[in-house]
Each structure stands twice: as C-alpha cells, then as structure tokens.
Structure 1
Amino acid sequence: MDFNSLNINDRKIIVGIDFGTTYSGVAWAETQRPDRRVAITVWPISKSTREGESSDKVPTKLRYNGNQPEWGFSIPVNAPTDEVIEWFKLDLDPSLQSMGTAVSSAAARGGRNVDKLVTDYLSALGEHLTYTLREKLGEGVVKNTALEFVVTVPAIWSDLAKDKTKQACQKAVEGLSTTKAHIHLISEPEAAAIYALHGLDPHGLQANDSFVICDAGGGTVDLISYTITSLKPILEVQEATPGTGALCGSTFLNMRFAKFLKAKLGKVDGFDDEVLADAMERFEKSVKRQFTLSARDDETYTIPVGGLANNKELGISRGRYALKASDLRVIFEPVVQEVVKLVKDQITTSKVPIKAVLLVGGFGASNYLKERIRGALDDASIQIMQPPNAWLAVVHGAVMKGLALSAPEQLTAVRVQNRRARKHYGTEWRVRYDEKLHSHLREKKHWCGLDGCWKVYTMEWFIRRGDAVSENEPFFTSFVWTGPVSQGRIKKIKMDIYADRTARDAPLARNGNVAMLCHVEADVGHIPESSLQRRKGNDGQLYYELNCKIEAVYLSASTQYTLVYNGQRYNSVTAEYV
C-alpha cells in the first residue's frame, strides 16, 4: 500500500496521550505521513490565549472557577493552593496507596469524583488537540479524518484503573470526530521501549541481548525487562520477566522539598502559598534536573523567596534562598533508593544477563538517579542509558504503537512479540467431587440434579503468572453453561474472571489471595431458541446445556473477550471490572 495514495476514508490521525501524574503530553501523526510525529508543545494560558506557553508537556492540574474548569498553564500562578487539584491520576487506583508513600486523595480534597476530574482534564486536552490539528491541517481535513487514540497507563495499575481511564477517555473524546473514536491502551514502559529502541539506533544491543526499561515518571515508576529476539527486518523483543513498579516518582521529591522548605522557612514573616509556589516551580524546572551525585556538600542552588527579609543564618539574601547540596541529598535519597531497589530486583528476577538499563520519563532524565543506579549495580558491564527526549519517550511510543496497529505491515518499527503475565488468570467452575483431590473442600460439596452427583467449585487457570502471552494468540477457556428450562430461556451467559498476583503456584480452589477481576457477560438473547442445546437431567428435569468458549486476547494494557458458541463468534461481550 502506498501511503500517499490512501483515500480520505483510509486516512487516520493517530493521537498518543501520555496522561501523567504531574504532567501530560500529546503527540500525533497522520497514517499517510507516518514518519512525521508531532508533539504538541504550545499550550493555552487562558480561555482566549490558545498559544501562550511553550513546553513539551502541560501540568496535570485542574481548578474549578464556576462551571468551566481551568487546566494546565491556564491556572493563574497565584491561585490559592487549596483550589488547585493535582495528582488526581493516582486516585484512579486506590490499591496503589499501599505500595508507596501515601498521597492525600486529590479528588477528596477537591470534593469531586475522580472519574469526573479525569474526564474534565482529558476533555480540555482533547479540545486543545482539535484546535492544534485545525491550525496545522485545516478544518476540512480534521472534519473528514477519523481520529484514533492510544492512551498510556502505568503497567502496575489494576485492571479496574486501566478500564476507568479508558471510559474517561471515551467520554472526553466524544464529539471530537464525526466517527466514533477508537481508544487503545498501552502500558507506559512498553510505549517508552518502542520509542527508545527506535531512537537508540545504533544502540549496540544485539539479538538475544536483554535490557531493563525503567520508566520513572511523576507518580509511578514502572520496569520491564526485554530480550531482543530479532534485529531485522524489524526490531522484535519479548518480555523476559513480569514487570514491577511502585509509587516513587518525582512527585515524591516535590512533596519532600515542600515539606523541607516549610520546616525551614514556614515561620518566617511573609512566607505564604505564593512564595512556596515560586520555590516549587524553580525546584521542578531547574534544581531537580541540575543536581548531580558529584555536587559538593557546600554547593548551593538558588531558590526564589521574594518578599522574605535577609537572614544570613537561614541563608536568605535579596529574595533568594541558598539550598545546599547536602540538603538536596537528604530530599532525594529515600525516593532514589526505592528506584534503585526496583532496578536491582528487576535485574535479579529476569534470570538473564542484562546488558543495559534504559532510563526514560521525566525523573528518568535525572543525572543524580542515573549515577546512583550506576554506582549501585555490581556489574560494571551494564550500560546505563538515557535516550534523548526521555520526557517525551512515552507519548511518541504511543503514536508509533497506534501507527503499527493501523497498518501493521508497513509501520511497525519495534514489535513486542510476547509479554509475561503478571498474575494467574482463571475462572471458577463446578467439577465432580473427588475425595482424593477435594477432601479439603468437603464442606463445600453440593448435589447436582443434572448429573446426579456431588460437585464442588474449583479454579480453572487459563494463564499462569510468568506465562508468555501474545496479542496474536488468544487464550480459550471452555465451559458448559447450564440452567433449568423451567426458569425461562437463557438470555445472558455470565462468567467471573479471577486473578491471583502472588508469586507462587496457582491454588486449586479460590482462597484469600484470589480476587475478583471482572464480570464478563455475553448477550445470547438473539440466538434462536432452536439453537440452544437441551438435555434431560438425572432428576427428570429438562436443562439447557450450552458448550461455550470464551476467547481472551491480552493486549499491552487491556483484555478483549469474545464468546464462541456453535462455531459462531459473539463480540457482544462486556467486561465490568471490580
């Protein structure tokens, strides 16, 4: 297919959205010019000024001023801090709170529902995207070209949090395009890997070499190890071990800096929210990025503290505070130590020799973090690399993934062949009770009228933790759906999917470690009554007995379910995550 000859119906605009804890990024490309990826780098500073601030990304912040929320750079710098809602992305996955430093719930602080906050923020992002596309491509092209979105999510997130992100995106982009926009999810470290490997040419990595990608962002730090399986004609990799991660991104450095400054200067006359906001901005934009491991303890970094009187003892002079490198070390160390531990653990669990660690994400660009990881690894032959444009790696990788999905043969730059399952996945079904196998479940056995025997519920695991899963090879689980004909015809087939994330063998029956993942429901109301199989039970009653299969395709950050019955595929399957 020649991309320049694509007719308008085949053309698509692929949009990557990196919805981050502290900053978010947007990039796009047209399918007929796939080599030209464009990141949005100009952002509104008010409703009327659409192009007021130049930055690779925009702050993930909201402030409600009447009905219309202000967002990103359009929130006034001097806005009271208690009115600005930030870090709300982390509220999408409450289960993460146990994994790292507790973050006060931003949604609760703003008295608003997190799903609404995410939808409002993504809607504002989508509106600015549409404005930008019209400016660059013209009204006609934008109006008549389908939009397809690839949205990035932390790999360590729960399936519920990923699904919530997808639903919020769906709501946010309604109306941006004349056709219903498709939304794909991709894990942040996988998107980063696609971009970093493509941009690291020649990267010195060979076939069969393995590397760790560490995506250190604002809130989450995600790690995955990959092994290169082929370099030509395209670069193919597969996951070497299930990914890991935690809440220890650079947001936690900001929190530690704010706490430090309040403790140091909080009682000084004139210290208020505005002074803190200016200091935070300097810390975020320059100090955090400049700080290196080799900095001498007495080296200082200038922090603006306008309006505070000179105080030699505290280090305040002419509206500036001299922050010592020794204090910065104290601020950095607990967060950096957590990332170092994650990297070392990932190298150990991959059980293959690691040639390189690729650092991406905003925090991944930190020189201090890079040097600390280098010093902490016992093996000096492991390269520590920071690909160029590390802050935009995730959003560019998302666009590349979207282009590959829309025309796999032509546009795949890097292909992830296999991923490693992070959990055991399975369903619960009734089996004939067997005293040898099920004696520990004796209390739970019950009589089955259809087969005239004792039965017991056990787990049927169709994927086990660490198994290789591929987008091209679905998993099938076969089951028999039964129900008395006297209770009326079967309209819906329901199934519960369970997961167990512990690093041990999957249990025979459901226990405390096995959690409900989602309810899967297939609508069979339209299947003719005559096609539904029946059988007379041992108890003389007539039963429906449907031999079905559920097909599950595990993608980068989501799962698609399809019901197969009588050789027919039914895509009317909905999954409700819990």
Structure 2
Amino acid sequence: MSRKRKAPPDFTQSPSHPLTHKIIVGVDYGTTYTGAGYASTKDSGLSDVIMISTWPGPSRDSETVLKTPSRIAYGGEDTRITGQRWGYQVEPGMTAYSWTKLLLDKNTPLTKFDDTALKKASGVGILMLPEGKTAVDVVTDYLAEVYKHIMKTIAKMISEEALSVTPIDFWFTVPAIWSDEAQAATREAAKRAGFASPARRHDKIYMISEPEAAAITALEKYTRNGGEGSVKRGDGVLICDCGGGTVDITTYLVNQTEPALKFEELCTGNGGKCGSTAIDREFYQLMSNRFGDSFDLLPMKRKGPGSDFMKKFEIIKRDFGHSDDNTLFELPLNMKVESPDPSHFDDEERLVILSRDDLRGMFDAVVDRILNLVRQQITDARAETGRQVITRIILVGGFGDSEYLRKAFRSAFELQDKIAITVPDNPQAAIVQGAVLRGLEGLRSTTRRCRRHYGFMWDYHFRPGIDKELHCYRHPFTGVKMVRNVMKWMIAKGDKYSEGHACTVDMYIYLTDGQSSMTLYSCDLPHAPERFDAQGTQPVGTIHMTFSNRDLKHFEWKMKRGRVMYEASCRLRVVFGSQEGVLKFEVTCRDKVVGQAIIDFHSHDQAQ
C-alpha cells in the first residue's frame, strides 16, 4: 500500500535501546498460496507496508512474486531431494503435500455453502498427509521454512545485529469461519515453527480474521480518497474474501471517517469452504468422468498441484472471463486414451481440450455458492438496519481477482441493487497489508459479531410436573434430585462484543484430586436449543481446571466411595476475541485465581 512517502522506512535502532520500536509482520498462510509483509513502528507508525516479493525456488515464473505455493515435499519420500523442499522449490514430479490448511478444520461440519466434493479430494492426491504426521506437523514444517525466509528477508534490510534486538509482532490471518480448534491449531503450528520462539522472548503472535484484515486495507483507501465513490459515514461495506480454500463474507458499518476511521461488524458474517480450489476439484471430476482410469491412474507428477498440467490450467483459470469468444483451451497431458473423443482429447498431440462451456460449468458451480452467501449477507444486513445499507462490495483474495467472478457480481448486485463492485489494485496482497496495518496503527473493528453460540451443559433442581423423569438423577454430593443436559449459553450467535470481551458464569465444581473438567459447547443454528440432546450442539473442547493455588480444605467435602469429594463455588471467565486469536479461560474463587484453566480440543467427554 503506497503512502507517497519520500524516503524508505528506517528500521535501524540503537542496540542500547532495543525496545524503542517493533517490526510488524503480517502472515497470510493460505490453502494454495502464502504471503507476508512487514513494516516498522518507527516514525510514529507511518512506514510503508513492504510486501515480500521474492520467494525461493526454480519453479517460479518470475523474480517478483507476492506469494509462494503452500506445499511441501520431504526428502525421505523423494529420492531426488534431501531435506525439505517448499513453495516454488517443489518441482513437478516430487511427492508433495498441498491444501493442508483445510485439514486443520476437518472437524467442522460442512454447511450448505461448502464444496460437496471436498471430502473426495484426497482421491487425486491432495488433502493427504505423510505417514506418521498430523496436519499440524505438516503445517509446522511448512511455516518453519516461511519463518526462516521472513527473518532472512528482514535481516537483509536492517542487518542481523539490528534484527536480533528488535521485537517482532507477527499477525497471522485466519478465516473468520474457522473453528476454535483450527485457530488454536494454526497458532500451535506457528509457535512450533519458530514464530515468537523462547530465544526471541519479546516476539509475539497475534491473529486477525482475513475479512477484517481486508476491511482495514480497503476502508482506509475508500474513506480517505475523498472523491467520487468514496465510502462515507453510515455506509455498509461487504467484504467478500475469496481465497483458495475458503470464502468469508463480512459486512462492516462505517461509523466515522474523520479524524480517524472507525467501523464495526454490522451483522453475523457467513462463509464456506468453497474457494477457488473447488474449481480445481470440479476440473478433476470432469477429467475423471471423461477419461476414467486413463486419468485417474496417472501419477501425481503429471496431474497434481504444481504439475505442468495444473500450471497450464491455473493460467486458463485466471484468464477466464476476460474474453467472450468461444475459445477452445488446450492443456498438454501425456495420457493414453482408448478411442478418444476428438472434441475432448487430441491423441496425436496429447492435448486435453476444454470448451468455454466446460470452464463455465466448473466456475458456475462455485460462483453460485459464493453469490448465495452474499445474498444471505445482504438480507441479514437489511434486517439488522431496516434499510439497504450495503453500498459497496469489495472482492479480495486470490479468487477475488477473477474477472469471471467480478462480472457475475456486477450482474447480480451492481446492475440490480446499485451496489458498487470494486477490486483493490492487488487483491491478493490486501489481507497481508491489513494485518500489518492492524499491528502498525491499531486499526480494527470496534465491535464484532459472535459467529456461534457458546455455552455449557447445566443441571438444575427438578421441577415436579414440568421436567421429565427420564432427564433426572440424584446429585452425588447433595443427594438432591436434579435435571441434566440443560444448556446454559454464555454468548449468543450475533451478539456484539469488543476485543477481549469476557463472559463469566458462576458454578459449583466437584473435585476429588484438585482437578475438574467441563465441556464447552457451540451451536451454529440461528436459535440455540435449550437441551443438549437436541440437534445442532457441537463440543468445542474440554476445559481442564486445576486448583493448585487454593487449599481444598477451605471447601465443603464429603466421603464418596472411599474418596474425598470437594464442592467449590467458583466463577469461570471466558475471553472471546483475544488478540492471541484463541479462547482464554480463568477460574476464580472469592476473586482469587485458583489455578490453570486450559482447553483440550481433542477430548470432548463431558465432565462427570
């Protein structure tokens, strides 16, 4: 993002004053590509955002590229290489792993807007993992290479010595539709990869949603140009972040443009796993339907991500929409087909032939899902405000640069609803730039909307004539007849909250060894159910609580089955929207913290 500065940013600082300023780094780890940028807080936070535009590897098409492929190859699986290869270092024919980001959120149920072919994608060698490694392991290995490259790039600018004494704030972007488990997994992978390592104790990791990062970049531009078509106070701006794996839709209301930009999330955003990789899956499905085993049994080096075949398809995909001619598209593929249809395959030249209708069929299946997401968001925004509040839709992300997608948006919204459709100069860089500006200038949405309901399973005293006997039990500590499986929701889907918002709940905890646990639940339905046994409630994870800072003798106790059971009156505090990007917990008794409270996303058993 250009600020028309006369001089480049000054990153130098005296080693005797190592904390006088920071470097802010934005990292956009995407399903298909990863980008990064950085800036310095020196000069009162007015430095330019510098995009990293050189990434290693012989397979890149030019010296200047803003992003590198999100893929990695391991030497133990490929005899041609030793160690690891990543990004553009991965060449056709290497056994590599792609789209791993989507596996971080594999436990989130598919929605009606998701790509239904997602679960079948492993059949073409993507969304797979090496033997003995988890998704977090693979993402860690990849991000470790990204981290080393970022640090090397910054060191070239400011010197190794200056870098060693300059704190860095890393702002990772994550899909707004991401589950809490996926956000925590992203943070865990980043820490294991070296970001904010103990060796650099002043470095920190923060997280920001991808649409909010894009909104920061876009709104700063469109509220400060002051010309025709600028965004004004009271305008609603819909950010449509179309990435490789996910699509995020969020609408922001501009509350103030001068002297400083202020905006808030207008209504609950939506999204789905229906990014541009869904077009690749539609393409693979078409190839399989047309050529059967001839295509299905081809080695991955000929047809997988990074192959010459898919590189050619990527060029066709990016250019599609710029011309309305009935062009035939040819993709070289060394494949033997018995009795091929000449309209689909040139056997002599070994060329796969695609028509414009073929491309349109692949695109429309994905574009229609995105348009439906946007229509739903427009409806929700109108219901929230009672007026047609959205005046502009801004397309960002790699797929946001698609001309075919832009034309579809113009036809659906600009020509009918008079909503302006705009695409930033570099939609792929907008998210990274916004992440850096978040850390650099503190720009952020003043309030957000909770994406889902959160709460706990609760018990209360039995009410004769109201509650059913089948829902009842005798409490093991008090002996009182209780009703089980009632949901107590702490925060509802659509509720407004600001950064660091905390919800508290008072409870009685029963423990036998100074430890207790309880399960946190979520619900994506518009209206959360009153009981756990209704449909729509999902376990988020188990909160494990230790009472190491509190003498258990202060609590009431009884002997149960030969063991001492304590009853503790406590308050659980849950922090939503922390800058760290993960749920935070705290347990207090009589206003004093009694120990640790951490969530385990891999254990969903209800605490007994």
Cα deviation for residue 449 of structure 1 reads 6.3
For the residue of structure 1 that corresponds to 2:417, the secondary structure is coil
| 1:326 equivalent in structure 2 | 357
| 1:407 equivalent in structure 2 | none
| 2:180 equivalent in structure 1 | 159
Cα deviation for residue 564 of structure 1 reads 2.9
Q: Aligned match of 1:79 in 68, 71, 93?
A: 93
| 2:69 equivalent in structure 1 | 59
Q: Aligned match of 2:160 in 133, 139, 150?
A: 139
Cα deviation for residue 425 of structure 1 reads 0.9
- Structure-2 change in CA distance of 1:313 and 1:448 (3 Å): closer
**2:537 corresponds to 1:514:** yes
| 1:363 equivalent in structure 2 | 399
| 1:549 equivalent in structure 2 | 571
Look up the equivalent residue of 2:586 and give its one-letter code.
T
Gaps of 5+ in 2: 1-10, 77-81, 603-608
CA distance in 2, matches of 1:211, 1:51: 35
Q: Aligned match of 1:255 in 258, 281, 286?
A: 281
Look up the equivalent residue of 2:186 and give its one-letter code.
T
Pick which of 500-509 and 84-93 moved more: 500-509
CA distance in 2, matches of 1:135, 1:50: 21
**2:164 corresponds to 1:148:** no
| 1:215 equivalent in structure 2 | 241
Cα deviation for residue 154 of structure 1 reads 1.5
| 2:18 equivalent in structure 1 | 8
Cα deviation for residue 421 of structure 1 reads 1.4
Percentage of matched positions with identical amino acids: 29
Q: Aligned match of 1:560 in 584, 588, 591?
A: 584
> How is 1:359-398 mapped onto 2 (pairs within 5 angstroms)?
359-377=395-413, 379-398=416-435
> How is 1:399-548 mapped onto 2 (pairs within 5 angstroms)?
399-403=436-440, 411-413=441-443, 415-437=444-466, 439-440=467-468, 442-448=469-475, 451=478, 453-457=480-484, 458-483=486-511, 487=512, 491-528=514-551, 532-534=554-556, 544-548=566-570
Superposed CA deviations along residues 145-167 of structure 1, whole A, max 9, x for unmatched, are 22222212212222111111111
- Structure-2 change in CA distance of 1:528 and 1:32 (3 Å): farther
Q: Aligned match of 1:20 in 17, 30, 39?
A: 30
Cα deviation for residue 334 of structure 1 reads 0.9
CA contact (8 A) 1:193 1:213 kept: yes
CA contact (8 A) 2:219 2:231 kept: no
For the residue of structure 2 that corresponds to 1:121, the secondary structure is helix
Look up the equivalent residue of 2:169 and give its one-letter code.
E
Superposed CA deviations along residues 462-506 of structure 1, whole A, max 9, x for unmatched, are 1111111222542111222245xxx5xx62343321112112244
For the residue of structure 2 that corresponds to 1:434, the secondary structure is coil
Aligned length: 549
CA distance in 2, matches of 1:428, 1:60: 39
| 1:239 equivalent in structure 2 | 265
CA distance in 2, matches of 1:477, 1:519: 16
Cα deviation for residue 379 of structure 1 reads 3.5
Cα deviation for residue 399 of structure 1 reads 1.7
Superposed CA deviations along residues 364-406 of structure 1, whole A, max 9, x for unmatched, are 1111101112212374311111122110111122222233xxx
Q: Aligned match of 1:290 in 313, 316, 319?
A: 319
For the residue of structure 1 that corresponds to 2:230, the secondary structure is coil
Cα deviation for residue 108 of structure 1 reads 3.7
| 2:310 equivalent in structure 1 | 280
CA distance in 1, matches of 2:127, 2:411: 39
Pick which of 462-471 and 99-108 moved more: 99-108
- Structure-2 change in CA distance of 1:177 and 1:45 (3 Å): farther
| 2:206 equivalent in structure 1 | 184
For the residue of structure 1 that corresponds to 2:267, the secondary structure is strand
Q: Aligned match of 2:85 in 50, 56, 70?
A: 70
- Structure-2 change in CA distance of 1:291 and 1:144 (3 Å): same
CA contact (8 A) 2:102 2:127 kept: no
Larger strand share, 1 or 2: 1
For the residue of structure 2 that corresponds to 1:193, the secondary structure is helix
CA distance in 1, matches of 2:36, 2:65: 11
Superposed CA deviations along residues 291-313 of structure 1, whole A, max 9, x for unmatched, are 227613x23556566999xx986
Cα deviation for residue 237 of structure 1 reads 1.9
Cα deviation for residue 436 of structure 1 reads 5.0
CA distance in 1, matches of 2:274, 2:166: 40
| 1:408 equivalent in structure 2 | none
For the residue of structure 2 that corresponds to 1:173, the secondary structure is coil
